[in-house]
Amino acid sequence: MGVEADQELNPRTKPAVIGAAPQGAADAESAARAVRDMFTAIAPRYDLLNHLLSFNVDRLWWRKTARSFSDILARPEARVLDLCCGTGDMTFALRREGSETPTILGTDFSHAMLQRASAKSAGTSLRWVEADALHLPFPDAHFELVTSAFGFRNLADYDAGLREILRVLRPEGECGILDFGEPGGVVGKLYRIYFRHVLPKVGTLISGVKGPYAYLPASVERFPDPSEMLRRMHRTGFREVSWTPYTFGIAGLYRGKK
């Protein structure tokens, strides 16, 4: 069940923030640089760790998200953009859902991530573009669908990211932002123990890099809660905004239409 923007939502429980703030970052530019460096460092083990640390539930989340936009993906003329695509798992899920194989682009500002996405997509029609999500090299009103899976949270300016998504969407185009949340209750307590203490240790051990897996839980805690994200989307200009929780709210899909 989704949460609609015009329904009464829970009051904001987190202070408003501009965007991601990795440790040591003094401004938006240094924050973006730190995020790029972190993802470049973990690129060789990125796919393995995603599946391992999520117990393979991440595959279900990508598939559910892609199916949410099956009507757009069924149009052979549709243009689709997967933002902050990493090694392309969300992009591949979109392609599998598209019965007529629309034009699908994946963008990321980590060259190392895109190299792996490109290697995985050999023989397909998928295309990859190295680009900053806050300054996309695409004209206005170009895409029918823009998605982002677990990447939007890492932008240095969330509102600027929403504005850029809105800019490149065609009228009536849709966006889907899949990202982590913070569930409540007993599940939330267990999740936070795992996320704050177990996941960083396992991620660091396997990747050989400490920073990114210490940053991950901090970035989720910093990210706006669903009610605040929906307010930001509505304020930016999206309509019919909603949030659908996945797996007790550990993740969730934000949707909006231009």
Q: Tens digit of pLDDT for each residue in 77-100?
A: 999 999 999 999 999 999 999 866
pLDDT band at 7 (very low <50, low <70, confident <90, very high): very low
- What confidence tens digit (pLDDT) does each residue in 148-180 have? 999 999 999 999 999 999 999 999 999 999 999
Q: How far apart are CA 81 and CA 77, in angstroms?
A: 13
The reported pTM is 0.89
Domain locations along the chain: 22-257
pLDDT at 27: 83
pLDDT, residue 100, reads: 66
With respect to CATH, is domain 22-257 assigned 3.40.50.150?
yes
What distance in Å separates the CA atoms of residue 221 and residue 136, rounded to the nearest whole number?
27
